[in-house]
Amino acid sequence: MSIEQSEGPVTIVEQGAAQGVSFGLTDEQKALRELARTFAEKEIRPKAAEYDEHSTHPADVVAKAHEVGLMNLHVPESLGGPGLSSFDGMLVGEELNWGCSGIGTSIGANALGAGPVLVAGTEEQQARWLAPLLEEPILCSFGLSEPDAGSDVSAIQTTAVRHGDEYVINGSKMFITNAGHAEWLVVFASTDRSKAHRGLSAFVVPTDLDGVVVERHLDKMGQRSTDTSAIAFGDVRVPASNRLGAEGEGFKIAMKTLDLTRPGTAAGAVGVAQAAYEYAVSYARERVQFGQPIALNQGVSFLVADMATEIDASRLLVWQASWLIDQGQRATLQSSFAKRFAADTAMKVTTDAVQIYGGYGYMKEYPVEKLMRDAKLFQIYEGTSQIQRLVIAKEIFLPRD
């Protein structure tokens, strides 16, 4: 493998100089963020512990989020949707996940489920699958991972064999967000095993078709209020008109979707880190040991200083990636920067928040224990932190056009 010459990562400084960069929010963006924060305070946080304990799908909160317009943000105006920018979605995602990342993910996962339809669907397919999402709180999922194909997408074993005007799908998917409650999901399957990743294709599969079986709800460490299920397909007959893009385009549809959604996952990680930071600051002010608040010890205040710095850096990476997406530019590199850094920051910040709380932090009756469990998932789903580094390294040494 040769290492091509490149000048390395594109930075916001170069791009921003041409088009202008502002760190200020418009009045509309401030109002949107306020709406999401108020929703997180009033509707999400009070229920977070209970849903976490029982690992149940928060259908009532999802329905309310739908009612107030905090779901399906990127469905275009032409279909009757809000047609919000990627950047606006980041503001909402951070706040909902600040409330609870399990519930926030339940609300936000339609962005991933619907992503391939937005990326590759015809106008007719978009109208058919996306417009109904606006009418009621319908969920949709992204069926990529399999028991033996997680990071290595090209190893997908699910097959789709064409018979006349239909495809017959066989296989199983693993770790699928909201699959137990989804009305449809996009299934990535091989239409030609001899072509590896170039033989993958994408299909919209309604979950009420014969042969679709939600096998089990998976019991997770954190983000327990988001349903994560295993789902199987046995001779599922899908009309050929449900295929997104051409045969063989599935891998690229998946990657292009992840380029768009990874900043949103990173925004969720920022929300969790921000919540842990706020708890840690307030506890460090109140907790007195050796006759003074523990915040007066550098061992504690320096942890808090690093938290604040790294949360801000994460947020700026999220904003940069979404800004690029809104400029219509490919943001593979910046999406992976944001996802890697924000996920690792959330893990570090929540771990340090538990440390600042000491013994209390380890107890379930205090909020930071849940945040630390929740944070871990950000380093795993939508591509692990190691996969993000792999993407970044490829963008540096083997850049694509």
Active site positions, annotated: 382
Residue 144 found at the interface with ligand CAA (CB under 6 A): yes
Assign 380 to helix, strand or coil: coil
Cα 73 from Cα 93, distance rounded (Å) = 10
The yes or no reply on residue 122 touching ligand CAA (CB under 6 A) is: no
Query: Does residue 184 touch ligand CAA according to CB under 6 A?
Result: no
Told to check if 114 binds ligand CAA by CB under 6 A, we report: no
CB 160, CB 201: distance < 8 Å? yes
Q: Does 258 bind ligand CAA (CB under 6 A)?
A: yes
Q: Does 151 bind ligand CAA (CB under 6 A)?
A: yes
Task: Give the nearest distance from C-beta 271 to ligand CAA in angstroms.
Answer: 17
CB nearer to ligand CAA: pick between 47 and 252:
252
> Does the footprint of ligand CAA cover residue 198 (CB under 6 A)?
yes
Position 153: which residue type? V
110 vs 352, which CB is nearer to ligand CAA?
110
CB of 175 to ligand CAA, least distance (A): 5
Which residue number, 40 or 200, has a Cβ lying nearer to ligand CAA?
200
Angle at 331 between CA 329 and CA 332, to 5 degrees: 140
Closest to 159 in 3D by CA, of 171, 142, 148:
171
| 259 neighbors 335 (Cβ within 8 angstroms) | yes
Residue 213 pairs with which residues in a beta bridge?
A: 232
Q: Of these, 223, 229, 314, 332, which contacts ligand CAA (CB under 6 A)?
A: 332
Under rule CB under 6 A, residue 269 binds ligand CAA: no
Burial class for 197, CB neighbours closer than 10 Å (0-12, 13-18, 19+)? middle
Residue 194 lies near ligand CAA (rule: CB under 6 A): no
HEC secondary structure over 336-374: HHHHHHHHHHHHHHHHHHHHHHHHHHHCCCCHHHHHHHH
Residue closer to ligand CAA by CB (options 73, 368) is 73
Which residue from 57, 162, 153 is spatially nearest to 105, judged by alpha carbons? 57
Nearer to ligand CAA, 127 or 390 (CB): 390
The residues that touch ligand CAA, with contacts defined as CB under 6 A, are 112, 142, 144-145, 151, 153-154, 175-177, 197-198, 251-252, 255-256, 258-259, 332, 381-383, 387, 390-391, 394, 400
